């Protein structure tokens, strides 16, 4: 089951990277996540059950996520609705959208083609198909992100989150950056939703509940564990954080603890990780989280 | 990349992946011979806790016992309950596989689906699934063709609506409440609606998205219809008291699909004894264990008949006379 | 063509339920290219409001703002940045704390240009940035790869100035940019400012509370009071002024303002 946890870690790591794009870089929490994540799965699975190839279906899932993020962005920048509220509105609305798309709250992929079939057919040891799928997906996403953030456009994007006033005064259209950030990040989030739906074998309108915690856990664990890092290292740290989180969950299950308590244990782990900077401060150690106010 | 921690972690990850990979590939060569273990493992996965599913589980254990397989003696039963959580069902399916289950039993559609998704070669026996083909578990009821077979309890909708017609001859409208998150309920309602419409009744459907909606929806349904029809629905089952509270206030009878619900306040049903369904399931599992049958060519056991059950106390409470014909044939249950 | 033309600028804000205050009252201001103008005035005189309406962070109720003949009145702050650059009073406001000195300069260099999906050419530019930073004289050139959040206020402010002048803006707005610094650093920054302005022949509008600076730098002094320009001294008259004259002027301005 360790291999399975690692594979899951890769897939959930994509979620972490998506959330990172808005939460850490633009400095606001995006609640759309809990809607765009299952939306990616819903669109993808619906497409597959309608004969679309898994890869194309996954791409459709990404596009759906981007549309959701775009709507949140518009509500936020043009409608002047506070970003958390805008995200919640979109997230709630997506529930109905998904029901409309799937025509049922739960759609199964049993006996349907899935994107991991290519790897499953290779008859590798258990769960290595997901590990390979996840690894390839991560490498692609990280490469794209690295490319993006080191362009002039990407630099302006980072500046928007770092100091919005300064960004505007050097000519950056910060509203546009926010919309683009929400659009792209929810596309990435929907991608993880689509891949995980195919891994689990079904899409369900309730799959988004609690995913923000998982995504944040990946980011926070990565930051807390690895200290001061360059940008590339930060992205890798998020993926590693995701894997570690899945392994921690595995330890809890193996320790025989009733899975009823899984959710509260997840929250406790996350809370502890969030408090580690405080603890380290108290003990006079350094973390990578120091930021000038 | 300079950070030692990160580089170290990546190396550790690679070592684990490559190590396990090599080990697994290696042990494949030597692992060809079949397990000659004395004690076989039966993995049972239940979707959620409510009396019907609990009874099925008990039935499964009894069915196994009837065929000579006793827990603790010659088999080990691993039982897990998903508490209604889809993602738990997945990880639990993995766990049951890790425990080297020789046969798996999925109680209720979501559990069976989770098991089917987790393995396509270990045998899976469905315990009381209302629509195996619709759920994608088997391709054909007579020749399942994969690793899944089991008991298909088709709610005896025709028998039920026959009984309802006799009990409520003046009824013009029937309200059907079901949970929009359960596909098994949806297919039942579709069959019931078809039959009721043929009988000349007007059907009003009410979907709830969670047990939170039950009170309000029931109130509305009671205002607009003459009696209520409830399918085999796990969400409603777990909050049935709330529904009955509202229907009692409006003095409307509730025709249910499960004997337990009749005990809890439904007025009548043509029910399938859940325990017996479980026993049949257990027997099918035993056949697989003993090697007598393989899921691929074992036809699904379709049980589409049931026993009439009436709740006399409820009928009296609501002022409904039960036709003599029915009273003779039906089993009477006491309210609880 | 005038570098800056503010015509009939009016701005009123509400101070609570029934209280309306006219912050800018039919202000007219014209600045020729290459002029270095300092702005004095007491608190609430309208200096910051004037600045904000020129830079675009505030929109006027009525009136126009043009820079080098281009009407900016309806444009947003980021759209005006093509022509205008600004250094704020707070050193933290002018630089992005998580980005390095070099990255900040890279961003500033793109002011007014379309930022595309081309890889930033940071490494090629570093030499040029190093030379630029040497002008400051406080070791900034050694911190090209340091996130600016770790720098001192003086270093960040000097960087802000470099960022504001790395591309020649049509108008440079300095909003009490030395006010938050200690005297020595403030003086160094003021010298650097003057140097950059002279090097590039920039048009500059500077708000300051330091009379000495108003006296020694620039070739024109404006005194504002109660939302209006009360005094405007330039050319020979300004050259001949002493500190005492300036104080008097300021006092007069305040009194006049009070009368208004």
Which residues does chain A have within 8 Å of residue C119's beta carbon, measured at their own beta carbons?
A: 147, 150-151
**Chain C CB within 8 Å of residue A159 CB:** yes
Shortest CB distance from B6 goes to which of A131, A236, A262? Answer: A236
Best residue in B15, B91, B126 for a mutation probing chain A (most A CBs within 10 Å): B91
User: Is A117 inside a domain boundary?
Assistant: yes
My answer on whether B54 and B147 are in the same domain is: yes
Query: Do residue B62 and residue B172 come from a single domain?
Result: no
**How far is A15 from chain B, CA to nearest CA, in Å?**
17
B322: in domain: yes
Phi, psi values for residue A284, rounded to 5°: 65, 35
Percentage of residues in chain C with pLDDT exceeding 70? 96
Q: Under 8 Å CB-to-CB from A36, ≥6 apart: which residues? A: A64, A65, A68, A69, A91, A94, A186, A189, A190, A193, A208
Domain assignment of residue A285, yes or no: no
Report the residue from B24, B90, B186 with minimal CB separation from A200.
B90
Chain C contact for A166 (CB, 8 A cutoff): yes
Is A261 inside a domain boundary? no
- To the nearest whole Å, the CA of C108 is away from the closest chain A CA by 6
Whether C99 and A162 lie within 8 Å, measured CB to CB: yes
In chain C, what are the domains? 1-83+169-188+200-260 (3.40.50.300), 97-168 (no CATH)
In a domain, residue B120? The reply is: yes
Please judge whether A151 and C116 are an interchain contact, meaning their C-beta atoms are less than 8 angstroms apart.
yes
Q: In this complex, is the C-beta atom of C137 within 8 Å of any C-beta atom belonging to chain A?
A: no
Count of structural domains, chain A? 1
As a whole number of angstroms, the distance between CA B3 and CA B84 comes to: 43
Q: What is the pLDDT of residues B241-264, one digit of tens each?
A: 889 988 988 999 999 988 888 888
Reply yes or no on whether the pLDDT at A2 is more than 80.
yes
* pLDDT tens by residue, chain C, 260 residues: 888 888 888 888 877 777 788 888 888 889 999 899 999 887 777 888 888 999 988 888 888 999 998 898 889 988 999 899 999 989 999 899 989 999 999 999 988 888 888 888 888 888 889 888 888 888 888 888 889 999 998 899 999 999 999 988 999 999 899 888 888 888 889 999 999 999 999 999 999 888 888 888 888 888 888 888 888 888 777 777 777 777 777 776 666 555 54
User: Are B139 and B267 in a shared domain?
Assistant: no
Give the C-alpha separation, C173 to C84, whole Å: 7
- Give yes or no for A184 touching C (CB within 8 A): no
Residues of B in contact with A226 (CB under 8 A): 3, 5-6, 9
The string of pLDDT tens digits covering residues A245-257 is 888 888 877 776 6
| pLDDT score at A248 | 85
Residue A110 lies in a domain: yes
Contacts of C97 in chain A (CB under 8 A): 162-163, 291-292
- For B261-307, write each residue's pLDDT tens digit: 888 888 888 888 888 899 999 999 999 888 888 888 888 888 888 88
Select the residue of A108, A228, A259 nearest B135 (Cβ to Cβ).
A108
Which ranges of A21-127 does DSSP label H, i.e. alpha helix? Answer: 33-49, 54-77, 83-102, 117-120
Same domain, B116 and B195: no
Query: Do the beta carbons of residue C53 and residue C61 sit within 8 Å?
Result: no
B101/B242 same-domain check: no
What is the distance between the alpha carbons of residues B148 and B93, in angstroms, rounded to a whole number?
A: 14
Residue A99 placed within a domain = yes
* Per-residue pLDDT band at A75 (split at 50, 70, 90): very high
Mention every residue, 6+ apart, whose C-beta is less than 8 A from residue B255.
B160, B163, B164, B167, B227, B228, B229, B230, B266, B267, B268, B269
**Is residue B175 one of the residues assigned to a domain?**
yes
Give the model confidence (pLDDT) of A28-37 as tens digits.
999 999 999 9
**How many Å apart are CA A288 and CA A39, to the nearest integer?**
34
- Interface contact flag, B1 A2, Cβ < 8 Å: no
| pLDDT the model gives residue C87 | 93
Minimal C-alpha gap between A90 and chain B (Å): 19
Whole-number Å distance between alpha carbons of B288 and B285: 5
The pLDDT tens digits of the residues spanning A175-221 come to 999 999 999 999 999 999 999 999 888 898 888 888 888 899 899 88
For residue B1, pLDDT over 70 is answered with no
Which pLDDT belongs to residue B33?
A: 47
Q: Is residue A260 part of a domain?
A: no
Q: B5, A205: Cβ pair inside 8 Å?
A: no
Choose the mutation target among A133, A233, A239 for the interface with B, i.e. most B CBs under 10 Å: A233
- With beta carbons less than 8 A apart as the criterion, state whether C52 and C21 touch: no
**pLDDT tens digits, B181-231:** 777 788 889 999 999 999 899 999 999 888 888 989 999 999 999 999 999
Does residue B202 form part of some domain?
A: yes
Q: Are residues B223 and B313 in the same domain?
A: yes
A169-180: pLDDT as tens digits: 898 999 999 999
| Domain identity same for B61 and B119 | yes
Strands (E), C50-164: 62-67, 70-71, 84-87
Residues B220 and B316 in one domain: yes
Residue B177: domain span = 157-271+306-333
Give the count of domains, chain B: 2
Residue A291 in this model has a pLDDT that exceeds 60: no
Task: Kindly state whether residue A139 falls inside one of the protein's structural domains.
Answer: yes
List the single residue in A150, A154, A170 with the smallest CB-CB distance to C81.
A170
**Residue B23: closest C-alpha in chain A:** A125
Q: Is residue B187 located within the same domain as residue B317?
A: yes
Between chains, do A153 and C92 touch, taking CB under 8 Å as contact?
no
d(CA A137, CA A151): 22
Q: How far apart are CA A113 and CA A120, in angstroms?
A: 11
Distance from CA of A206 to the nearest CA of B (A): 9
The enclosing domain of B100 has a CATH number of 3.40.50.2300
Domain range for residue A19?
Answer: 2-206
Task: Find the largest Cα–Cα distance for chain B.
Answer: 87
- The answer on B198 and B55 residing in a single domain is no
Q: What is the pTM of this model?
A: 0.80
- Provide, rounded to the nearest whole percent, the portion of chain B with pLDDT above 70: 96
């Amino acid at each position: 089951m360790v291999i399975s946890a690692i594979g899951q870690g890769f897939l959930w790591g994509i979620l972490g990277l998506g959330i990172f794009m808005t939460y850490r870089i633009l400095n606001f929490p995006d609640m759309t996540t809990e809607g765009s994540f299952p939306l990616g799965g819903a669109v993808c699975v619906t497409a597959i059950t309608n004969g679309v190839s898994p890869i194309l279906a996954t791409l459709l899932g990404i596009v759906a996520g981007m549309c959701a993020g775009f709507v949140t962005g518009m509500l936020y920048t043009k409608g002047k609705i506070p970003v958390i509220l805008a995200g919640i509105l979109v997230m709630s609305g997506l529930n109905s959208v998904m029901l409309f798309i799937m025509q049922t709250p739960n759609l199964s992929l049993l006996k349907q083609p899935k994107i991991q079939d290519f790897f499953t057919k290779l008859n590798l040891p258990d769960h290595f198909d997901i590990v390979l799928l996840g690894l390839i997906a991560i490498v692609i996403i990280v490469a794209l992100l690295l490319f993006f953030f080191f362009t002039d456009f990407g630099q302006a994007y980072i500046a928007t989150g770092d100091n919005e006033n300064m960004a505007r005064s050097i000519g950056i259209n910060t509203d546009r950056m926010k919309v683009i950030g929400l659009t792209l990040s929810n596309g990435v989030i929907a991608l993880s939703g689509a891949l995980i739906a195919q891994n689990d074998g079904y899409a369900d309108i309730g799959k988004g509940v609690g995913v923000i915690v998982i995504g944040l856990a990946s980011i926070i664990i990565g930051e807390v564990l690895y200290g001061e890092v360059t940008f590339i290292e930060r992205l890798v740290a998020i993926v590693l954080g995701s894997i570690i989180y899945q392994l921690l969950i595995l330890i809890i299950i193996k320790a025989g603890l009733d899975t009823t308590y899984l959710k509260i244990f997840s929250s406790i782990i996350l809370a502890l990780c969030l408090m580690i900077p405080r603890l380290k401060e108290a003990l006079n150690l350094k973390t990578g989280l120091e930021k000038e106010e | 990349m300079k950070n030692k921690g990160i580089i170290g972690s990546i190396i550790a990850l690679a070592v684990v992946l490559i190590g396990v990979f090599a080990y697994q590939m290696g042990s494949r060569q030597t692992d060809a011979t079949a397990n000659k273990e004395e004690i076989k493992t039966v993995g049972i996965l239940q979707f959620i806790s409510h009396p019907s599913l609990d009874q099925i589980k008990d039935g499964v254990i009894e069915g196994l016992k009837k065929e000579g397989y006793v827990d603790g003696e010659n088999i080990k039963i691993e039982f897990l309950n998903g508490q209604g959580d889809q993602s738990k069902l997945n990880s639990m399916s993995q766990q049951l596989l890790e425990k080297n289950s020789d046969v798996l039993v999925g109680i209720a559609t979501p559990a069976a689906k989770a098991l089917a998704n987790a393995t396509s070669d270990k045998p899976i026996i469905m315990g009381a699934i209302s629509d195996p083909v619709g759920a994608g578990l088997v391709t054909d009821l007579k020749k399942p063709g994969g690793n899944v077979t089991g008991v298909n309890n088709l709610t005896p909708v025709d028998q039920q609506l026959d009984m309802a017609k006799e009990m409520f001859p003046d009824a013009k409208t029937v309200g059907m409440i079901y949970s929009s998150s359960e596909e098994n309920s949806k297919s039942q309602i579709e069959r019931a609606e078809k039959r009721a419409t043929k009988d000349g009744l007007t059907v009003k459907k009410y979907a709830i998205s969670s047990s939170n909606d039950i009170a309000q929806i029931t109130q509305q349904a009671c205002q607009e219809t003459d009696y209520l029809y409830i399918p085999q629905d796990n969400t409603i089952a777990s909050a049935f008291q709330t529904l009955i509270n509202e229907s009692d206030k409006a003095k409307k009878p509730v025709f249910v699909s499960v004997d337990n619900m009749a005990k809890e306040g439904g007025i009548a049903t043509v029910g399938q004894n859940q325990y017996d369904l479980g026993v049949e399931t257990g027997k099918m599992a035993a056949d697989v264990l003993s090697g007598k049958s393989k899921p691929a060519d074992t036809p699904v056991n379709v049980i589409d008949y049931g026993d009439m059950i009436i709740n006399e106390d409820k009928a009296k409470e609501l002022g409904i006379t039960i036709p003599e014909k029915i009273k003779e044939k039906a089993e009477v249950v006491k309210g609880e | 063509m005038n570098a800056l033309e503010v015509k009939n600028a009016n701005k009123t804000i509400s101070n609570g339920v029934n209280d309306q205050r006219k912050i800018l009252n039919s202000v007219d201001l014209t600045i020729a290219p290459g002029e270095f103008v300092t702005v004095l005035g007491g608190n609430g005189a309208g200096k910051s409001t004037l600045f904000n309406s020129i830079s675009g962070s505030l929109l006027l109720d009525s009136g126009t703002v043009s820079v080098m003949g281009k009407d900016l009145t309806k444009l947003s702050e980021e759209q005006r940045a093509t022509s205008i650059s600004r250094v704020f009073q707070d050193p933290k406001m002018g630089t992005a704390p998580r980005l390095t000195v070099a990255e900040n300069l890279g961003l500033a260099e793109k002011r007014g240009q379309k930022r595309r999906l081309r890889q930033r050419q940071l490494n090629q530019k570093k030499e040029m940035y190093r030379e630029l930073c040497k002008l400051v004289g406080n070791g900034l050139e050694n911190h090209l790869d340091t996130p600016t959040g770790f720098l001192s206020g003086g270093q960040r402010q000097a960087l802000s100035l470099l960022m504001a002048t790395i591309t020649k803006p049509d108008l440079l707005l300095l909003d009490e940019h030395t006010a938050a610094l200690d005297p020595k650093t403030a003086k160094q920054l003021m010298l650097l400012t003057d140097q950059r302005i002279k090097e590039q022949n920039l048009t500059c509008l500077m708000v300051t509370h330091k009379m000495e600076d108003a006296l020694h730098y620039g070739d024109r002094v404006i005194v504002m009071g109660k939302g209006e320009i009360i005094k405007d001294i330039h050319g020979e008259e300004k050259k001949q002024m002493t500190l005492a004259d300036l104080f008097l002027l300021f006092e007069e301005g305040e009194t006049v303002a009070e009368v208004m």
